[in-house]
Amino acid sequence: MPLFFRICETHHAVDALSGEGSRLFGGRWNPPGLSAVYLAESRALAALEILVHSRMDVIRLNWSLVEVEVPESLIETPVSADLPAAWDIQPKSLAARSFGEEWLRNSSNVGLRLPSAVIPEENVLLLNPNSPCITEIRVSPPRRFPFDARLCEIGTRGRE
């Protein structure tokens, strides 16, 4: 079974797969009002996804890592030609949100494997927490995930 990763603040770790944050605020692949959970295919990509969306001082918060096993048979992987044009633009693409919304509302599968906007050669998994198959995934207990404090120094080196 493929393994995916989610890093979240420790106080949210017990409900890391609820999709509540994305329901409230939306994400690249889902509009506000529709629950989704964003996972990454590696711990490093999960960390980068946090860092590109936050101020660097957030690394001082308490973070936890959750590992999620998803049966390959419950994951859809669209070919790149099927993705909306400019899905990776900043700020988030309305076409990408519509694409994800369509999948979240109409697919019975648990996951949709998509390229990461941070590193397009790597993937994220859009997890549908409302899928009838959600019980077929395996979730590890959360464990502490400390960011290296040197990350706070990025961008400040060489300025002395």
Q: 38 and 27 in contact (C-beta within 8 Å)?
A: yes
Rounded to 5 degrees, what angle do the CA atoms 8, 37, 152 make?
30
Q: Which residues have C-beta within 8 Å of that of residue 114, sequence separation ≥ 6? A: 29, 78, 83, 123, 124, 125, 126
Whole-number pLDDT of residue 160? 47
Question: Would you say residue 154 has pLDDT above 80?
Answer: no
- The answer to whether residue 160 sits within a structural domain is no
Q: Specify the residue for token string 């936050």.
A: 54
Whether residue 68 is contained in a domain is answered as yes
The rounded distance, in Å, linking the Cα atoms of 81 and 46 is: 25
103-149 pLDDT tens trace:
999 998 999 999 999 999 999 999 999 999 999 999 999 999 998 88
103 with 97: CB under 8 angstroms? no
pLDDT exceeds cutoff 50 at 60: yes
pLDDT score at 55: 72
In a domain, 106, yes or no: yes
Q: Which domain holds residue 8?
A: 3-153
Instruction: Report the number of distinct structural domains present in the chain.
Output: 1
What's the chain's average pLDDT? 91
Q: What is the pTM of this model?
A: 0.91
CA 66/CA 61 separation, integer angstroms: 16
Structural contact between residues 103 and 28, judged by C-beta atoms closer than 8 angstroms: no
> Is 54 domain-assigned?
yes
Q: Concatenated DSSP letters for the chain?
A: --EEEEEEEGGGGGGTTS-HHHHHH-BTTB-TTS--EEEESSHHHHHHHHHHTS-GGGGGS-EEEEEEE--GGGEE---GGGSPTTTT-SS--HHHHHHHHHHHHH--SSEEEEE-SSSTTSEEEEE-TT-TTGGGSEEPPPEE-PPPGGGGGTTTTT--
Q: What is the pLDDT of residues 92-108, one digit of tens each?
A: 789 999 999 999 999 98
159 in any annotated domain: no
The mean pLDDT value for 62-80 works out to 96
